[in-house]
Structure 1
Amino acid sequence: MSTLEEILNIKYPIIQGGMGNISNATLASSISNAGGLGTIGVGTLTPQEIEIMIIETKEKTSNSFCVNIPLSVNPYVKEMINLVIQYKVPIVSLSAGNPAPFISLFKDNGIKIISVVASVKQAIKVEKLGVDVVVAEGYEAAGINSALETTTLTLIPQIVKEVNIPVVAAGGIGDGKGLAAMLALGASGVQMGTRFIATKEAPFHPNYKEAIIKAQDGNTVIVGRTFGKIRRLIDTPYAQSLLELEKKGTAELFQEKTSEHYHKVGAIEGKLTDGFINGGQIAGLIDDVPTVEELLKKMVNEAKKQLQQVFVKLNTYEDSE
């Protein structure tokens, strides 16, 4: 089996999450240039907006990058697929829907396929369909989450046991120790979103970055359980207003108040009383704003050190028959 790095043509086994509607060419290209896999998340954006972003990303990096298409979210799926093919984007990530109808089209055009899953059943299914890589996302992750609420720690080893393609761990990872832990569980790499928000190249509002830096272990909140629309956010005044809305509002109003308009108001404009900001549970561990290159190098070096320490410790134990 080819390695994750070989399949995606990357130096480090670190992938950027989709960050629909607020991802951008600057951050994606910086991650790719630093040796990871940068990603453009199409979210609910238009084909015209994504075309501009793809062109800009290609101008800023000659390395591999990815386009994430949430199949049940974006109203222009056919057009997005055509753009990926037209501009020869090397990798596509498919999430929030059934990838089956699109697999052969991407394969015929030499495009590698990542599928985002939240269960063993989904992972087995997409492997049979012929995807190249599985991203298994646990409940710790930022943004829209699976109703299964399975943690990354329990999800990864179960999926690794059942599939033969590379498995990338997502949710709750933000440093080298997290990378080492996921590799120890059998994952081939990691995907991160929240950690990349707090980087120098990420063009998000300083209020967003500051909220992540200040966050402690209990400063994320789940909204949307009442309406079956689970989403993990940084706990802000707007997030609290969404919890109140669940008690007395309607599903339609909740859907409106968690639309991408309010995502941009929080993340891009920095108005934390008028819009929301996604954030994973790993936010409590983040306390600096490095460059992307500094982050990736530090993570890999820290992972090496951590795994070496574990190896030394294990070698002090007597073998048992």
Structure 2
Amino acid sequence: MNPFKVGEKITRVPLIQGGMGVGISLGNLAGSVAAEGGVGIISTAQIGFREPDFEKNPVKANERAIQKEMDKARKISPEGIIGYNIMTALKEFKNHVAAAVKAGADVIISGAGLPTELPRLTEGSSTQIAPIVSTEKSAKVILKYWDRKYQRTADLVVIEGPKAGGHLGFKKDELQYYSPEVYDEEVRKIIKIIRGYETKYQKKIPVILAGGIYDSDDVKHAAGLGADGVQVATRFVTTKECDAPAEYKGAYLKAEKEDIVIVKSPVGMPGRAILNPFIKRVMLGEKIPHTPCHGCLAKCSPNDIPYCITDSLINAAKGKVDQALLFCGADAYKAKRIETVKEVVDSLFDNK
């Protein structure tokens, strides 16, 4: 793997740090990864949860925090590559994209649905755009749609596999179907589609493999499949620079392999998280009381959900780990100590 371009900037290592919300990958982590030569990513999901007016006006609180976290990241890495992860499932998706562009995002990475409008929303800016896809079908659909409607293609593509953390782009039965060998073949098919658009548009489209990238062997495996880079999230949680509280990092350090489970999100999507008292209550079918609606997801019925995704993720970001949804990747249990971002980057790419 070689460094890749994001607009006019070039990485020093072929790495994107994955977006983790709520409040886990903010300006400090993103800026620190960018300073080490990777792409630092800030998650906009309920990013303004610490703002004093968040409960009364989450829209403005989130928009304000999008700028604040970029300012924080730029202080750490003035010339680095810094962007945002913005979920298409967000009710305020368009506002978040506009705020990210205004804040000077080098790139916007978007998943949790297909970001059909992203080219229009970023038109006229220098912000690069990257969809997250998980299957050959989703890659075909989004790239064909952008090609036909906007006469343009992706600047990067992130392929997120079944070992990823948080919300997954697979149904529960698909997670069982996609063994490592089967998914490797799916990755090859997706890359073939992307290379076709490279030829059509006469431009390089870096393909970034995500989900289950934990060490240098995983990076080498991704390179062997034809990926141009990797996206890593879980590994960065247990770093000194991560924005997560000490209690959250501690939950990763304590987790055993059998503690990593697939849970059902309130909006019906499967997700991967650490088994804790909160998740046990959810699995028993308990309906957990929640605060008034924060307006986070477009497709959510507050009266019908078993628990509030925002409440549970904010609890995680505030260190209330027994009352929280602790999203994580499949290999979170491998974390044994707190590292620095530099140590993680060096180990991923065998830098001495």
TM-score relative to the length of structure 1: 0.84
How far is 1:126 from its partner?
3.0
Kindly provide the amino acid, as one letter, of the partner of residue 60 in structure 1: I
Alpha-carbon deviations, 1:50-108, whole Å to 9, x = none? 121122222221211111111222x3223222222223221111222332322144253
SS of aligned partner of 2:257? coil
Match of 2:92 among 63, 76, 79: 76
Q: Which residue of 2 aligns with 1:315?
A: none
SS of aligned partner of 1:257? coil
Kindly provide the amino acid, as one letter, of the partner of residue 141 in structure 1: A
Match of 2:74 among 58, 69, 81: 58
How far is 1:13 from its partner?
1.3
Q: Contact 1:38 / 1:65 at 8 angstroms: preserved in 2?
A: yes
Kindly provide the amino acid, as one letter, of the partner of residue 192 in structure 2: K
SS of aligned partner of 2:73? helix
Q: C-alpha separation between the residues in 2 aligned to 1:99 and 1:248?
A: 31
What does 1:40-59 align with in structure 2 at a 5 Å threshold? 40-45=42-47, 46-59=62-75
SS of aligned partner of 2:86? strand
Q: Which residue of 2 aligns with 1:287?
A: 336
Q: Gaps spanning 5+ residues in structure 1: where? A: 305-321
How far is 1:120 from its partner?
0.8
Q: Which residue of 1 aligns with 2:28?
A: 26
Q: Higher mean Cα deviation, 23-32 or 213-222?
A: 213-222
In the superposition, relative to structure 1, how do residues 253 and 300 fare at CA in structure 2: closer, same or farther (>3 Å)?
Answer: farther
Q: C-alpha separation between the residues in 2 aligned to 1:49 and 1:247?
A: 31
How far is 1:44 from its partner?
3.1
Q: Contact 2:34 / 2:40 at 8 angstroms: preserved in 1?
A: yes
In the superposition, relative to structure 1, how do residues 291 and 108 fare at CA in structure 2: closer, same or farther (>3 Å)?
Answer: same
Are 1:133 and 2:156 matched, yes or no? yes
How far is 1:213 from its partner?
2.0
Q: C-alpha separation between the residues in 2 aligned to 1:113 and 1:133?
A: 7
Are 1:241 and 2:281 matched, yes or no? yes
In the comparison of the two structures, how many residue pairs are matched?
A: 300
How far is 1:34 from its partner?
0.8
Match of 2:323 among 271, 274, 282: 274
SS of aligned partner of 2:256? coil
Are 1:157 and 2:188 matched, yes or no? yes
Q: Gaps spanning 5+ residues in structure 2: where? A: 48-61, 147-152, 196-204, 290-300
In the superposition, relative to structure 1, how do residues 227 and 70 fare at CA in structure 2: closer, same or farther (>3 Å)?
Answer: closer
SS of aligned partner of 1:221? strand
Higher helix share: 1
SS of aligned partner of 2:350? helix
Kindly provide the amino acid, as one letter, of the partner of residue 174 in structure 1: Y
In the superposition, relative to structure 1, how do residues 171 and 287 fare at CA in structure 2: closer, same or farther (>3 Å)?
Answer: same
Q: C-alpha separation between the residues in 1 aligned to 2:278 and 2:304?
A: 12
Q: C-alpha separation between the residues in 1 aligned to 2:254 and 2:164?
A: 18
- Alignment RMSD (CA, Å): 2.8
How far is 1:152 from its partner?
6.3
Are 1:210 and 2:210 matched, yes or no? no
Kindly provide the amino acid, as one letter, of the partner of residue 216 in structure 1: E
Kindly provide the amino acid, as one letter, of the partner of residue 42 in structure 1: T
Q: Which residue of 2 aligns with 1:265?
A: 315
Q: C-alpha separation between the residues in 1 aligned to 2:128 and 2:266?
A: 37
Q: C-alpha separation between the residues in 2 aligned to 1:49 and 1:105?
A: 20
TM-score relative to the length of structure 2: 0.77
Alpha-carbon deviations, 1:206-237, whole Å to 9, x = none? 22222222323222111118973211101112
How far is 1:256 from its partner?
5.7
In the superposition, relative to structure 1, how do residues 57 and 218 fare at CA in structure 2: closer, same or farther (>3 Å)?
Answer: same
Q: Higher mean Cα deviation, 9-18 or 55-64?
A: 55-64
